[in-house]
Structure 1
Amino acid sequence: MVSDISLATDAGLYTKQIDWDFIRNTLAYPHLKTGHTGLAGIHELLPGQALQLSLGSSMTRDVWTPWDFVSASKRYNDRRDALRAVREAVRSTVRAWADTDGSILLELSGGLDSSIVAAALMGSRADITCCNLVTPVPGADERLYAEQMAASLKSELHVQELSIDGAEFSFEPPPHAVTPSTWLLQHASNEAKEWIGQQVGARSYYSGGGGDTVFCFTKSAAPVVDAFNSRSFVCALRTIRNLAELHQCTVWKVTRLAARKLLGPAKPPRTPDHAFLSFKSDLEIAALHPWFSAPPAALPGDMERIFDLAGNQVFRDGIGRSSHRAFRMPLLSQPVMETCLKVPSWMWFANGRDRSIAREAFADRLPADIFHRRSKGTFMNYTGAVYRRNMHRMRDYLVNGRLAKHGLLDTDSLRKFLGSNPDTHGDSFMRIFDLCEVENWIRYQA
């Protein structure tokens, strides 16, 4: 039993071997953390689980589950109570981490979530430096917002541009990674942030990662159904209007989508992606993660955000910079998650704004541009540019790689796709990055 697989391999206690059954599953269900790993004979203890050891045997049991915090008896009914609770949970948790670390590089994207982490750090005794990443193509430049938040913190902001030419899809994964968990953008981001961290001498990295899930950022109509089933028809109508204003669509469209969700079957936790694979997965999805087993009376909005929380568990595995300095995602800390889960999904939307409870809880500490903004930055143009530049190399990398040699890829489809005009690919090129991520991890295990 070790906290880092590299401890076992360095000590000669374990020799790496690929678990190809796991690889099949992760190809069909990418970016999902389970108790299984890509290394034969190695199992991982999931968040919320405990390992019970006795003479000659061991047993894994669940000691914490998010489902305990979305029940009707735990749910906030008064918006003011929810605001106070969320503010206090985030503020006290972030400050506790800051008091522990003392020196912080805050990864300030310019979005709401990392800005709320910054707001909670105001008045902290910690030495705080901020960083922000930009790209040479449009879409990801959020420095206007990051500069305002850094100024509010009275902290220096380091802005680093990610190179298109220097972006690599083949690189050494973090030594602690027991599954494929780092793709090209994560690697490029990690290199940039680790360099800044070294320059400023920070002892820890802070991220707003997971905030979208914790603060119930959803594009579905599930909150309407939650309001109807758990509160009232009037509350459901109010939620319809809020979602229509947020998404700039008609109330009739939101109503139609909500009715479909109310009357239709429950959305599965994940659906398999068989693109470019030579096989079809018949895996029972509920068996992949303990949080995928929803209680019979679970509300659809609660189901969606808890399923997403399970997906968030993979974030830390792909962060190479966590090998050298503490890496914190305060919004995924237990006190914050528990408090936010008690806030019903429909309460997170108000006045045409998403994540409204979190916004209003820190309204006095957020610059107006950040409090009111509805847009989100995207690195899609950057990854698209990297893809165009490397698509032929990626084709050779995959069709001549370990996955293909094990018969797991439809190499004919890959050759056809990666030999065609990229203007016709839309965002389906992201699947190629998924496959390269798995191929890359495998190549570095032996």
Structure 2
Amino acid sequence: MIRFDGRETSPQDITAIKRLLAHRGKVKSLFLQQGVLLSFDGTLETDDKAEVFSVADTTLFTQINTESCFIPNYLRDSNASFNQPNADFAIALWDARRQLLLCARDILGVKPLYYVHQPGLFCAFATEIKALLAFEEVVVKPNRNKFREYLSWPKAYIPYSSETFYEGIYSVLPGHCLQLSRTETLNTPYWKPDHSRLDGLKVAGDYAAQFEDDFTSAIDSRMRSKDRIGSHLSGGLDSSAVSSMAQQLLQTQGRASVHTFTIDTGLSSTDETFYVKEVLKQWNPEHHTVQPIADVLSSILEINRLFDRPEQFIIPSSFHLSVSIKARQLGCDTILTGHDGDSVIPTGFDYLDQLIDCQDWTGLERACRQRISWPGSNFTKISDKWLSLSDRQKLEKYLLHLIGTEITNRFRREHLGAFLRSISNQKKQLHLSTASIIRYCIKRLRDKMAHVELIDSAFNPEFRQLTFSRNLQTTKGLNACFSGNNHVPVSQIINTTNVICNEQFDHIGAYYGHQYAFPFFDKRVVELGLSTPSWVNFDQGRGRGLIRNGLQNVLPAAIIDRQSKTNFVEYGNLSARQLYLATQEQFTLPSHAIWEIIDRTVFHQIVDVVFNSRIPIQQKTRYNWLLSRFIYFSLWLSSVSERR
């Protein structure tokens, strides 16, 4: 805490914080004229001459002085200094001469940092919200601004916001520097990706080789000085890449094998045993199969206790609690995860959209042939008869699926004569038959007529009419700061879902005695992902060319060639149903605070879909999601009421 009003920091507040954050490590204190900095197993830096002091939770991935890595750079380069280290970090730096408190986080928000700023009085900051809630001067009040975003089905990437579920408590934005004075707050992005080191990359092989180098370094640096390494291994491309590379490096260094963890849900729809066994056969790590916590409600309550807010994992939290419990039993001090590697190293399938935009129909036909020709490619979402179609029929259906929206848009904006001429030319260059186009148009018309409006939210009329005045600070501005060298939208990497998951991993790891590490979120790996053209990742229709080609000597052949991806809809449905049955009684209470926000009728419509066995499981994704969020939210509301 830094005070601007001349008062001393409350000893009771300091005692409360030390108690609430004791699980994060041994505490070191630095008492200043205007406040106190507390480090829990982190670093304290001081420069008495310059009157600059800092406290940081930092994991560095370069060989530099870990005890003095921020203040010297800050004195030389000011806010731009936070862009220099390749690190996961959360830092608060007090510049006494300028009377400024600066707070910053790493570019992906792996390390969390929250704060309270009461102008003229004080600024307090902590790695967990519960520590700020303990301050005597902080009022615990739910932030209704956040409810609408959290309880609505997202149709696009949502920028990460500085708002939290508590009024007056904010989160420092990833890749940003927050500047706090006695009266003002200034939030500016510091992250500027360095593309210059990648200027010499020309052909696909150059990019793949660079990925191998950067990814190897990312994993090696995250295992440095660690005694016992754990790793998620689901059998997917990302987790297999992390586990395989980690084991190869450990073998080369003569160190103990990595402990790999696979979740077994007991459902055939999530069974990836074949792919997991391929990794085990090639690398022989110490492998462990764990089951999700049987009582889903208890795991949600535990996460709610640890995390202070209702945001939860996309995949049920019991997965990660099970792994953390087992890792603690084994004494793992770090767990590597391939979490969201497909955002940093994407499929490259937007290359097809680029061909459509420049009307390169010859190139589009060639690329589509490549896309559907890979063994294991299955596009039953386009046609339920896909597997029985001829190659020509598959190509026509796939092409029309891609260009359908483009054709519709041209029909709306062009005169009929011009539209017919352009469609005729397009049909000729793509070798499409008139019959296939007619069949496609009829199907589009039928689908439109049969379309049922899906439920996106369940707010009652009173809540819908509420308007909130918000000066929203988000990561959206990062997109505007970057040059045209980026081939991947930053919103795909830095968004609410990803950053919240990172924060939760950090919280769980801190409580269970290990650190979660994200090799795909290494600064150099992210910069390479942003710089790689879509055609490189498209890889002649296979997708994710960087990782498949860059790690061809590390990954088993079955993983490299894998085209499928496990779907957890069935497990999500079972979890949502179990959660509802366990909490059903509280939803019957007319006095529950959730009914001030949610419409009972729409809520029960969602429940009916989740429990209706006649509705195909693949059509329940959003309803499982909505019902689960309502339950998370109601549990959190109850806990806030108890805390108040």
The normalised TM-score by structure 1 is 0.83
Greater relative contact order (Cα < 8 A, sep 6+):
1
Q: 2:341 matched to 1:211?
A: yes
- CA contact 1:225–1:300 (8 Å) conserved in 2: no
> What does residue 269 of structure 1 align with?
none
Does residue 25 of the first structure (1) align with residue 149 of the second (2)? yes
Higher strand share: 2
Aligned-residue sequence identity (percent) comes to 17
Does the 8 Å CA contact 1:105/1:204 hold for their aligned counterparts? yes
Q: SS of the residue aligned with 1:85? A: helix
- The alpha-carbon distance between structure 1 residues 105 and 273, as it changes in their structure 2 partners (threshold 3 A), is farther
**1:323 and 2:323 are equivalent in the alignment:** no
Matched, 1:251 2:381: no
Asked if the contact 1:222/1:300 (under 8 Å) is kept, the reply is: no
SS at match of 1:115: helix
Residue 84 of structure 1 deviates from its aligned partner by: 1.1
Kindly indicate whether the alpha-carbon contact (under 8 Å) linking 2:367 and 2:541 is maintained by their aligned counterparts in 1. no
Superposition CA RMSD, Å: 3.8
Gap change, CA 1:375 and 1:284, over 3 Å in 2: farther
> Secondary structure in 2 aligned to 1:423?
coil
Q: 5 Å matches for 1:277-426?
A: 277-278=459-460, 279-280=463-464, 289-291=474-476, 294=479, 302-303=488-489, 306-307=491-492, 309-310=494-495, 311-319=497-505, 320-324=507-511, 325-398=514-587, 400=589, 404-405=593-594, 407-419=596-608, 421-425=611-615, 426=619
Deviates most, 367-376 or 247-256:
247-256
Task: Indicate the residue corresponding to 2:267 in structure 1.
Answer: 137
Once the two structures are overlaid, the 10-residue window that deviates more, 153-162 or 52-61, is 52-61
1:106 is paired with a residue whose SS is strand
**Separation of aligned partners in 2, 1:306 and 1:419:** 34
Identify the residue that residue 85 of structure 1 maps to in structure 2.
210
| Counterpart contact for 1:119–1:365, Cα < 8 Å | yes
- Equivalents in 1 of 2:176, 2:486: separation in Å? 24
- Unaligned 5+ residue runs, structure 2? 1-124, 380-393, 411-453
Q: Distance in 1 between matches of 2:529 and 2:172?
A: 24
Tell me how far apart the structure 2 counterparts of residues 76 and 399 of structure 1 sit (CA, whole Å). 62
Q: Does 1:115 align with 2:240?
A: yes
Match of 1:189 in 2: 319
Q: Distance in 1 between matches of 2:639 and 2:473?
A: 25
- Secondary structure of the structure 2 residue equivalent to 1:60: strand
- SS of corresponding position for 1:242: helix
Q: Residue 46 of structure 1: which of 155, 160, 173 is its match? A: 173
Q: TM-score, normalised by structure 2?
A: 0.59
Deviation at 1:64, TM superposition (A): 1.6
CA distance in 1, matches of 2:568, 2:627: 16
CA separation of 1:234 and 1:285: change in aligned 2, threshold 3 A: farther
| Change over 3 Å in CA distance of 1:143–1:199 after alignment to 2 | farther
- Structure 1 window deviating more from structure 2 (55-64 vs 90-99): it is 55-64
How far apart, in 2, do the equivalents of 1:80 and 1:409 lie? 53
Comparing 6-15 and 36-45, the one that deviates more: 6-15
Specify the alignment match of 1:429 in structure 2.
624
- The 8 Å contact of residues 226 and 346 in structure 1, kept in 2 or not, is answered as no
Q: Is the 8 A contact 1:217 1:354 kept in 2?
A: yes
Question: In structure 1, what residue type is equivalent to 2:249?
Answer: G
User: Cα deviation per residue 1:405-435 (whole Å; 9 max; x = unaligned)?
Assistant: 4521111222344256521453123321122
Mapped partners of 1:339, 1:213: distance in 2? 12
| Deviation at residue 368 of structure 1 after TM alignment | 1.6
Partner of 1:9: 133
User: Would the alpha carbon gap of residues 191 and 170 (structure 1) be closer, same or farther in structure 2, given more than 3 Å must change?
Assistant: closer
Amino acid at match of 2:287: L
Q: Deviation of residue 13 (structure 1)?
A: 5.7
Alpha-carbon distance, 1:330 to partner: 1.4
Deviations 1:238-294 (A, max 9, x none): 4333333355453334434444566859xxxxxx97332225598999967333775
Distance 1:53 1:386, change over 3 A: closer
Count of matched residue pairs: 434
